[in-house]
Amino acid sequence: MDAPFEFEALRRETASWWYIARRKLFREAVGQALRGKREARVLDLGCTAELKFAESTHIRTVNAYSSLPVLAFHQIQGVRDLICTSSEELGFASNAFDAIVAGDMLQSVPDDLAALREMRRVLKDGAMLCLTVPAYPALWGEKDEARGHRRRYTATELRRKLNNSGFEVTRVSYLVASGFVPAVIERIGKNIFSKSIDRSRARFRSSNAGMVLLLDMERQLIRYINLPFGTRVVCWARKPALVAERVTVPLWERQWAARPLPQGSS
């Protein structure tokens, strides 16, 4: 894809209802994670949150992605602290960040477990991860293939992979419930009428402003309950803090570990 066309596609994406709603979700999650800290580091993996903090604070956002054209686009938009790095081998020191947000990128990496382990490695003990992924393998379509997706997730699968990667999952919920039924109808229609569905797709599309308003309502709702379905999965997880354990050493081991008696002593 030529750069002008790719940049135009990125401009349309950054103005879409999902991009706007996800950005609000991440900003709210980071605000809760930092809890008024005046000095912190936040990793925006995927360059989707567009985080901004007051100049009076010492909070730095690092925007990381594996695609140079995407980074170039965000640089043109005025985004700073851009770093090109693989999600499976993050180029950062361990225990470097107070929070990580990852917007719709886990489904595109070859090894999502390796990417999750890397996120855990660069997080500080007790720090937060908030991520979103496309939901339900049954909703797989041409858009997934065009965007280079490798998989879709259920809430149960995402929770299991986070647990296997060493995270302590706080909450998992579906999102974009208002777009779930149209997505299912479109998927069924494409399976039956692969050509005619394109002509009727506009019937199921809501306006950009209308969808943003609906997702604002959903974002307020998931503060209290987990939504049972939706076209996206959102998860909050933490890197468990290390806890010192009391180890009891057997008596015989303590005797063998003691200093030997001086030679010639009885």
Quick one: average pLDDT of 82-107? Answer: 96
**What residues contact residue 6 under an 8 Å CB cut-off, 6+ apart?**
69, 73
Distance in angstroms (rounded) separating the CA atoms of residues 187 and 135: 13
Q: Any bridge partners for residue 134, and if so which?
A: 232
* 172: helix, strand or coil: strand
Indicate if the pLDDT at residue 200 is higher than 50. Answer: no
User: What average pLDDT is seen over the chain?
Assistant: 86
Residue 245 clears pLDDT 90, i.e. is over it: no
Please tell me the distance from the alpha carbon of residue 244 to that of residue 56, in angstroms, as a whole number: 36
Q: What digits encode the pLDDT tens for the residues 44-81?
A: 999 999 998 887 789 999 999 999 999 999 999 999 99
Whether the predicted pLDDT of 251 surpasses 50:
yes
CATH code of the domain made up of 3-241: 3.40.50.150
Q: CA 233, CA 176: separation in Å to the nearest integer? A: 9
155-169: per-residue pLDDT in tens? 999 999 999 999 999
What is the tens place of the pLDDT at every residue in 111-127?
999 999 999 999 999 99
Task: Give residue-wise pLDDT tens across range 12-34.
Answer: 999 999 999 999 999 999 999 99
| Measured CA distances, 25 to 46, 61, 139, 178, 194 (Å) | 15, 16, 23, 16, 34
pLDDT of residue 76: 92
Are 170 and 237 in contact by the 8 Å Cβ rule? The answer is: yes
Distance CA 98, CA 40 (A): 6
pLDDT at 89 over 90: yes
Q: How is the chain split into domains, by residue range?
A: 3-241
pLDDT at position 257 is 53
Structure confidence at residue 201 as a pLDDT band (50, 70, 90): very low
Higher pLDDT, 9 or 190: 9
Q: Is 235 left (phi over 0), alpha (psi -120 to 50) or beta?
A: beta
